[in-house]
Amino acid sequence: MVVEFSIVPLGQGEELAKPVAQVLSLIDRSGLPYKATAMGTLVEGDWEAVFGLVKECHLCMRQHANRVLTHIAVDDREGAAGRLEGKVKDAENILGRMLKK
């Protein structure tokens, strides 16, 4: 499955680079395939691994804020693997060209 999630600490001002960096460090150390974006992070893996990581990231952000919002979107397709790269490659194959990334 592919999960996209974002974690927003409330009441912490506009500069969030340090707590976000700590969350990204957790994701990076997880060993799961991921892509960090400006608005959230995509992670691929099985249910337990991905949602365990999301929980760990949420709790990490709670160390920086008393209130945290975590948004999660799940793409769960039986038998699918390598979808972080595969979904983009599928579109590129249809278009016959590489997309700007």
**Per-residue confidence (pLDDT) for residue 95, from 0 to 100:** 92
Tens digit of pLDDT for each residue in 58-82? 999 999 999 999 999 999 988 888 8
Q: Is the model's pLDDT at 101 over the cut of 80?
A: no
Closest Cα to residue 45, out of 53, 57, 55? Answer: 53
**Per-residue confidence (pLDDT) for residue 41, from 0 to 100:** 97
Which domains, and CATH codes, for the chain? 2-95 (3.30.70.930)
Cβ atoms of 65 and 8 closer than 8 Å: no
Q: Residue 2: beta bridge partners?
A: 44, 75
Tens digit of pLDDT for each residue in 8-59? 999 888 888 899 999 999 999 999 999 999 999 999 999 999 999 999 999 9
Torsion of Cα atoms, 14 then 15 then 20 then 25, to 10°: 180
**Per-residue confidence (pLDDT) for residue 62, from 0 to 100:** 96
| Cα separation, 34 vs 30, whole angstroms | 10
Q: Which two tokens stand for residue 24?
A: 């990204």
